């Protein structure tokens, strides 16, 4: 294998070229005007929603409500970071919700809880990452379609979670875990800080490291990336592992919030996560996207839920509105994009 690959120096040079070719407007998209036009639809949607909130409910614009919104966005927010990487790398991960269920159940069994908070964290992160790596291994080295592999994991992981928990809600007695959701640092809830840290780490990884540039290259054109000397299969494996790790972190956060682990945790999170990533401007075909957009996407959905409950409105109307917002945001985005290119 080594004798076919070009020497390391050469490889790095070619790779840099191919990455540059795959994303010519990298710097512009990151900092310049194009980045903002891409997110314009979401910013407008958020602004409209906030305006509606301020006009209809007096408690909307309070600090405590805004922190609640951020807290409610935190779990799904962490999941979408991993999802953004996977989708940008040209893949899809349908298993995120089930991985959260599995990690939350595995890390809250009576046996795991006996090891305290450390045991819960270790177990959740390991289970999430390993399950993600299994996804990645089957997709990259088993040459199976990502949609199918992660669909199988969606079913299988939830099944395993049901098996372990015997389909019962496992109440968490470890105070250090439960307190995560109740405590704040400098007035900001710890869960929100964790989400912001994950987003920041993701942003650095995506925009400032070779790993990030390779993700863009692999998602943009896997064949070109391979010819440029990127180990596409290894990279794909790592992307799914990363998504699994994010699910592990999210599982602990969700467990802390609900004071319990259950096989029903994280139901339909894959749809919420994919929706947020897509309306955030990431191409479903891979190769382009931003974490800022993803964050805005998550916020739009969380603010809608908050607004509806504050206004005492029923769930069906909420779902109709969410569907309409997805379409509206994507339409606005397309218009913004074509305006930017012409």
Partner 1 sequence: MAAQLGRRGILLGGAVIGASALAACTSNEVAGGQQTSGTKVAAGDNGKPGAHITIGFSCPQADHGWIAAITKNAAAQAKLYSDVTFSPVEPTNDVAKQIAAIETLINKKVSVLVVLPNDGKQLTAIGRKAMDAGIPVVNLDRIFDTPLAYRTWIGGDNYGMGVSAGTYIGEKLKGKKDAVIAEVAGIDSLPLTQERSQGFKDALSRYGLKVTNRVAAQFTSSSGQQVTSNLLQAAPKIDALWNHDDDQGVGVLAAIKQANRNEFLMVGGAGSTDAMQVIKADNTPLKATVTYSPSMASSAISLARLIGQKKGMSDLVENEVPARITLASATITKENVDQYLALGFKS
Contact 216, 287 (CB under 8 A): yes
DSSP-H helix ranges across 4-115: 8-22, 26-31, 33-38, 40-56, 63-88, 96-106, 110-113
Residue from 45, 94, 99, 123 in contact with partner 1 (CB under 8 A)? 123
List the x/- string, 225-264, binding to partner 1 by CB under 8 A: -----------------------------x--xxxx-xxx
Q: Residue 229 region, left (φ>0) first, then alpha (ψ -120 to 50), else beta?
A: left
In angstroms, give the least distance from the CB of 259 to partner 1: 4
Residue from 11, 12, 14, 68 in contact with partner 1 (CB under 8 A)? 68
Interaction between residue 329 and partner 1 (CB under 8 A): no
Interaction between residue 59 and partner 1 (CB under 8 A): yes
Tokens of 143: 């040459």
Interaction between residue 309 and partner 1 (CB under 8 A): yes
Cα distances (angstroms) measured from residue 128 to each of 104, 145, 323: 9, 20, 30
Q: How many chain residues are in contact with partner 1, going by CB under 8 A?
A: 50
Interaction between residue 290 and partner 1 (CB under 8 A): no
Interaction between residue 4 and partner 1 (CB under 8 A): no
In angstroms, give the least distance from the CB of 302 to partner 1: 10
- Cβ closest to partner 1, residue 115 vs residue 203: 115
Tokens of 53: 């909130």
Interaction between residue 165 and partner 1 (CB under 8 A): yes
- Give the span between the Cα atoms of 260 and 170, in whole angstroms: 5
Q: What is the 3-state secondary structure (H, E, C) of 58-80?
A: CCCCCHHHHHHHHHHHHHHHHHH
Cα distances (angstroms) measured from residue 173 to each of 25, 109, 170, 185, 262: 51, 10, 9, 23, 14
Interaction between residue 70 and partner 1 (CB under 8 A): no
Residues that bind partner 1 (CB under 8 A): 57, 59, 62, 64-65, 68, 71-72, 106-107, 109-112, 115, 119, 123, 126-127, 162, 164-171, 178, 181-182, 254, 257-260, 262-267, 305-306, 309-312, 314-315
């Amino acid at each position: 294998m080594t004798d076919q690959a070009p020497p390391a120096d050469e490889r790095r040079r070619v790779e840099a070229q191919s990455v540059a070719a795959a994303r010519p407007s990298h710097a512009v998209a990151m900092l310049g005007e194009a980045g903002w036009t891409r997110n314009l639809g979401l910013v407008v949607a958020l602004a409209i929603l906030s305006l509606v909130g301020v006009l209809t409910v007096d408690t909307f614009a309070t600090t405590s409500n805004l922190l609640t919104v951020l807290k409610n966005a935190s779990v799904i927010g962490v999941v979408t970071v991993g999802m953004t990487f996977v989708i940008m790398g040209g893949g899809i991960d349908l298993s995120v919700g089930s991985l959260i269920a599995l990690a939350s159940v595995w890390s809250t069994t009576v046996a795991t809880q006996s090891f305290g908070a450390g045991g819960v964290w270790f177990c959740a992160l390991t289970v999430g990452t390993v399950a993600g790596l299994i996804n990645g291994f089957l997709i990259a080295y088993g040459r199976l379609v990502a949609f199918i592999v992660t669909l199988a994991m969606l079913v299988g992981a939830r099944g395993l979670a049901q098996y372990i928990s015997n389909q019962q809600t496992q109440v968490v007695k470890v105070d250090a875990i439960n307190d995560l959701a109740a405590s704040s640092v400098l007035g900001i809830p710890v869960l929100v800080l964790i989400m912001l840290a994950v987003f920041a780490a993701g942003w650095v990884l995506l925009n400032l490291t070779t790993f990030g540039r390779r993700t863009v290259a692999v998602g943009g054109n896997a064949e070109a990336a391979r010819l440029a000397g990127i180990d596409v299969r290894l990279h794909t494996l790592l992307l799914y592992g990363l998504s699994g790790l994010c699910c592990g972190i999210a599982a602990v956060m969700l467990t802390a919030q609900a004071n319990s682990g259950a096989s029903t945790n994280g139901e339909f999170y894959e749809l919420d996560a994919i929706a947020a990533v897509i309306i955030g401007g990431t191409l479903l075909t891979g190769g382009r996207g931003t974490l800022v957009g993803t964050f805005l996407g998550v916020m739009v959905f969380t603010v809608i839920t908050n607004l509806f409950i504050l206004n005492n409105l029923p769930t069906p109307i909420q779902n109709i509105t969410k569907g309409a917002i997805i379409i509206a945001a994507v339409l606005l985005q397309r218009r913004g994009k074509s305006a930017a290119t012409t």
